[in-house]
Chain A
Amino acid sequence: MQQEENFARKFLDEEQIQTLNSLLYLLLPPSDDGKMPSASDVGFLSYAHHKALFPSLTGGLRRINEKSLDQFGQCFSKLGNSDQFQLIEKLKRELFEFFHLLKSQIINCYYQNSCVLEAIGLDARPPFPSGNSLEQGDLTLLEPVYNRGRIYRA
């Protein structure tokens, strides 16, 4: 986590990092049963660094925090969940491109994470070379199709 934040600090200030982490947690919190982690716990900062996303995120993060200070008198990361949701809702049109980018990248990162893949029933690996097994299925279900006879035109 510390190393991740060090990556991020090259592009984001402390408050922007806190805002981003709050957004990640807000948009994808851990599941009630604890099997699914929050998006703030899947290495998003290093993913964003690898994908060179920070320059595209700084403006939106700054604007969210400004709006938070303006409306609630405190930083976004200090707000409760309902205030955070309310604020995002107000900014969704103004920051349409920012949220579109952030949300799609959260999903891209989240559903590659080993813990997440295992929690949804997949192996945490690429498809190749191990592959997957799949039942052949019951080909006798074709009996009525076959018995109906020819349906093509000559």
Chain B
Amino acid sequence: MSKESVDILIIGAGPSGAAAAWSLSSTSLSIMCLEQGDWMDPSKYPSTRRDWEIMRAHEYNVSPNVRKHPADYPINDKSSPIAIANFNAVGGGSILYSAHFPRFHPSDFRVKTLDGVADDWPVNYSDLQPFFSENDRMMGVSGLAGDPAYPPHEPPPGGYPVSLGPMGEIMGKGFNKLGWHWWPAYSAIITSRTYKGRQPCINLGPCNSGCAQGAKASVDITYWPLAIRNGVQLKTRSRVREITVDASGKATGVIYYDENNNECRQNARVVIVACNGIGTPRLLLNSCSSHFPNGLANRSGLVGKNLMLHPLGYVEGLFEDPLESYLGPQGCCILSHEFYETDSRRGFVRGYTMQLLRGPGPIETALSGVLRRQIPWGTEHHQAFAKHFGHIVGMAIIVEDLPEQHNCVTLDPNLTDSNLIPAPKITYKLSENSRKMLAHGLSKGKEVMIASGSQKNFAFGPVRQTGWHLMGTARMGTDPTSSVVNEWGRSHDIKNLFIVDSSIFVTSSAVNPVSTMQALALFITDKIKTNLTRLFD
């Protein structure tokens, strides 16, 4: 079945694809997006049910290998200490992310110049600054201006920071005692007023299983309604198998499977890939032809290479006072960039974020307490539970991992999805630099827990089920021999093929990537719009 050609075909309706679609929808171009998942129904999100903690562990699990929704594809991540997390739906990963929304720092774009490792980006912070701001407005980011860890920028438009609560306050005091940086979280969550039709946060808690309130900015409720109103056609349950090319090596469109598993063809003048750091290299590697026998846009040999995952450490403190720590947006409270910038005295280059998490709900408190022998069975259970529930503070240590070619996405020779499309295989190990950084972060995390008054602490990492941040597998750069796309996301090999997701990141920084990824998508589509008449030069 062949379909009429469109000007722009976007593959993937997640955060970057949505931003790209909305940005391009201001033109008169015909735009279509193909998404393998479907629209979500917020009235069915776990927070609407009493068993929300159990649903989060199963139907809304972060791993496609556990969830096994029809839209999911399996991922062989057995050769990685970090399991891959994603979500396949309109909204993509933003359906389940915690909406922690810090930007990359200026130094993150100049890693080689400042620290002599990896590579500088072909764009810098100031290039992206207007697009950070535009994206903040579109997503409705809340927070507090004046953070000395960032260059000055306008106040976040979504309202005051998410509530600190007693937990955030006590930890803030602990950071102050040590003289360390901390700041209320930047959150893509509306807090203090209605914003663009979205109601403010009511502290449901499990943001990372979908927000029934609509306060959290998943792109199915931010970018997509506007893009569709502007004429973008979004086709769901449409899984792309490969991008096709003509005799000259130019992209001609895609072959995909529709909701009835019919094989379809969609022609396009320009193809934009937005499938994330795993899905994008998978699609390119599955798109072999005589022009590109090793995968599309892969003359550099770097498609799938340099995978970065942000190894994550976990620090937990148990406090005597009740902190109501189970209340509030699960992944957003405060962050610290005290150890973000390189300090050679620490024995490693680059740095990490400390991201304060809310405490667990009752089921998770009991399960983990029993597992760790902190909450016994029998007559003493109730007393021990009461000492833990609402008294636990969690902290994530988000470590910057540097690009290394042996960390990669390849095609699994045996595993396929339900359409028999080869599935991705992940090969990844932590570098010595990452291990040192992680150990430092775990130690410093315990230090601030103690300074804040915790009675007991424990820390471990890397945590396996945390591979949300998928970066680097189709990196950008000015040299076609050492990068996949150029400084505005266009394939070096194919002039009508663009990539806008975090696979084009040159380095990973040490913050959650969505803010920067969407700013980059807006930057690239702005370049497409301003270069329309000479797009293929």
Chain A interface residues toward B at CB < 8 A: 26-29, 31-32, 36, 85, 103-104, 107-108, 110-112, 116-117, 120-122, 124-139, 141-142, 144-146, 148-154
By a CB distance below 8 angstroms, the chain A residues around B363 are 107-108, 111-112
B224 within 8 A of A: no
By a CB distance below 8 angstroms, the chain A residues around B77 are none
By a CB distance below 8 angstroms, the chain B residues around A108 are 51, 53-54, 363
Q: Is the interface of B mostly helix, strand, loop or mixed?
A: loop
A153 contact from B168, B341, B382, Cβ within 8 A? B341
From A130, which residue of chain B is reached at the shortest CB distance? Answer: B202
A142 contact from B107, B172, B204, Cβ within 8 A? B172
From B361, which residue of chain A is reached at the shortest CB distance? Answer: A111
Q: Which of A103, A116, A153 counts the most chain B CB atoms within 10 A?
A: A153
Contact assessment for A145 and B385 in the assembled complex, using a CB-CB cutoff below 8 Å: no
7 contacts between A and B (CB under 8 A): A108-B51, A120-B385, A120-B389, A131-B203, A132-B202, A141-B172, A142-B184
User: Apart from A129-B202, A151-B181, what 14 extra A-B contacts exist at CB < 8 Å?
Assistant: A26-B377, A108-B51, A117-B362, A122-B362, A126-B48, A128-B204, A132-B202, A133-B203, A134-B328, A137-B163, A139-B161, A145-B181, A151-B340, A152-B151
Q: For the complex, give the distance between the alpha carbons of A111 and B172 in Å.
A: 31
One of B142-150, B312-320, B458-466, B498-506 contacting the partner: B142-150
Q: Which of B106, B176, B381 counts the most chain A CB atoms within 10 A?
A: B381
Q: For the complex, give the distance between the alpha carbons of A146 and B181 in Å.
A: 9
One of B31-39, B132-140, B205-213, B263-271 contacting the partner: B205-213
Contact assessment for A127 and B367 in the assembled complex, using a CB-CB cutoff below 8 Å: no
From B152, which residue of chain A is reached at the shortest CB distance? Answer: A150
Contact assessment for A112 and B389 in the assembled complex, using a CB-CB cutoff below 8 Å: no
Query: How distant is B388 from chain A, measured CB to nearest CB, in Å?
Result: 11
- Total cross-chain contacts (CB, 8 A): 153
By a CB distance below 8 angstroms, the chain A residues around B212 are 128-129
Given A122-B362, A132-B205, A153-B114 contact (CB < 8 Å): yes
B337 within 8 A of A: yes
| B side interface size, CB within 8 A | 65
Q: For the complex, give the distance between the alpha carbons of A117 and B370 in Å.
A: 18
Contact assessment for A141 and B107 in the assembled complex, using a CB-CB cutoff below 8 Å: no
By a CB distance below 8 angstroms, the chain A residues around B379 are 29, 32
By a CB distance below 8 angstroms, the chain B residues around A130 are 202
Q: For the complex, give the distance between the alpha carbons of A26 and B381 in Å.
A: 11
B206 contact from A110, A127, A145, A149, Cβ within 8 A? A127
Contact assessment for A127 and B205 in the assembled complex, using a CB-CB cutoff below 8 Å: yes
From A153, which residue of chain B is reached at the shortest CB distance? Answer: B107
Contact assessment for A131 and B204 in the assembled complex, using a CB-CB cutoff below 8 Å: yes
Query: How distant is A85 from chain B, measured CB to nearest CB, in Å?
Result: 8
Interface residues of B in 196-237 (CB under 8 A from A): 202-206, 212-213
Q: For the complex, give the distance between the alpha carbons of A87 and B175 in Å.
A: 49
Interface residues of B in 35-56 (CB under 8 A from A): 45, 47-54
B449 within 8 A of A: no
Q: For the complex, give the distance between the alpha carbons of A120 and B149 in Å.
A: 40
Query: How distant is B439 from chain A, measured CB to nearest CB, in Å?
Result: 22
B386 within 8 A of A: yes
